[in-house]
Structure formats: structure tokens, C-alpha cells
Amino acid sequence: MVLSRWSKKLNLNRQAIRKRILNDPYYRFCSLEEVEIAAELGLTIDVNQASVDDWLRLPGLSIHQGRTLVALVSMGVELLCIEDLAAALSLPINSLKPLAPILVFSYRDPKNLLMFQRVNVNCATLEQLQDIPVIDAILAQNLVNNRRENGCYKNFVDLQRRLALTGSIISELMHYLQF
């Protein structure tokens, strides 16, 4: 009887966690159990496309580590396996292995122009923004000025509203920017 109540309570707790994860795309996992539940739900993080916010979702990773990983990838370092990730963070592999079920190590051919590395609009420099085919010098300057004056962009809706961009421009930017 006691075991049955405990089992029922455990199941209700897992269901509540599943619901929170499904309802909040930026939910920060507090435990390895929550990472396991996320993996069951099919949630993944592509380490070579992850933003600092993506890294902060993982238990035990600091903002400094997230920024380090994003900076490395933006400089062209490609993380191909959990061992690369551990080496980049100077951590033992065993400390990262429980995170492996939700980490995806996708290979991208740097010569393939169709696989443009997305840029985080909230961190990008003026020069990085101007390298994007859809962004001219004026739009790049507007992006930087508005970000400096009004804070980080939340998403494409916020970006469109703040800069009064057309739907067609946002449609093109979605392939080059991330938040």
C-alpha cells in the first residue's frame, strides 16, 4: 500500500515535469532525471547550433561555460562528440555523459554554402551582421542600435515589431539569425 502511494506520487511528479518541459521551450533542467524525461520527449540540443540559453538549460553548466562553447563554435570549432565537449570545457567525460541523450553532434561541411552558420542577433557584432546576405549596412546598424537602446531581442516577433520589418524580410532572416 505504501509502495503504491509512493509509486503514484512519483508518476505524478514525472507527469508534472513532462508538462513543464513541453510548455516552456527554455525550461532549465534541475536534475539528470529531468534530462532523462526531456530525452524521452525527443528534445535535443545541437551542440554546434546551441545558444548560451540552450547551454544554460543543462544542469551543472554555467553561463561562462555556455559562452565559451558558443564562442568556440562561432570561431569555427566543430564539436563532433562528447569527448570534444568535455575537452572544450576542461571537464571529465563522465560528468557530461548523463547529458548525452539530448545532445546532438551534427556535422556541417564548411564548404557547403547552404549550411550558413546562424548568428545570435543579441551577441553579433556589426561586422557579423553585415556578413549575412539578407542584411545591408543600414539594417545591421539599426539592429545594433536598437539592441543597445532597448535590450536583447526576445524572438523574431519582437525583432519584427521593434524594427518594423516586413514579413518577407523576417522569413529570410529566420535562416540566418537565432536568439
pLDDT tens for residues 99-131? 999 999 987 655 554 556 788 999 999 999 998
Share of the chain above pLDDT 70, in %: 89
Output the pLDDT for position 80: 92
What's the rounded mean pLDDT across residues 7-22? Answer: 82
What's the rounded mean pLDDT across residues 152-173? Answer: 91
Output the pLDDT for position 86: 94
| C-beta of residue 108 within 8 angstroms of C-beta of residue 97 | no
Helix (H) or strand (E) segment spanning residue 99? none
Start-end of H helices in the chain: 2-23, 32-40, 52-56, 63-74, 82-89, 93-96, 126-130, 137-150, 156-163, 167-173
Output the pLDDT for position 113: 44
| C-beta of residue 45 within 8 angstroms of C-beta of residue 54 | yes
pLDDT, tens digit, for every residue of 67-97?
A: 999 989 888 888 999 999 999 999 999 999 9
pLDDT, tens digit, for every residue of 26-68?
A: 899 999 999 999 999 999 999 998 999 999 999 999 999 999 9
* Segments making up each domain of the chain, as ranges: 2-104, 119-178
- CB atoms near residue 29 (< 10 Å): 23
- The separation between the first and the last C-alpha atoms of the chain, rounded to the nearest angstrom, is 49
Distance CA(122)–CA(137), nearest Å, equals 17
Output the pLDDT for position 174: 87
Confidence category of residue 165, pLDDT binned at 50, 70, 90: very high
Residue in 80, 163, 92, 90 with CA at minimum distance from that of residue 121: 163
Residues in the chain: 179
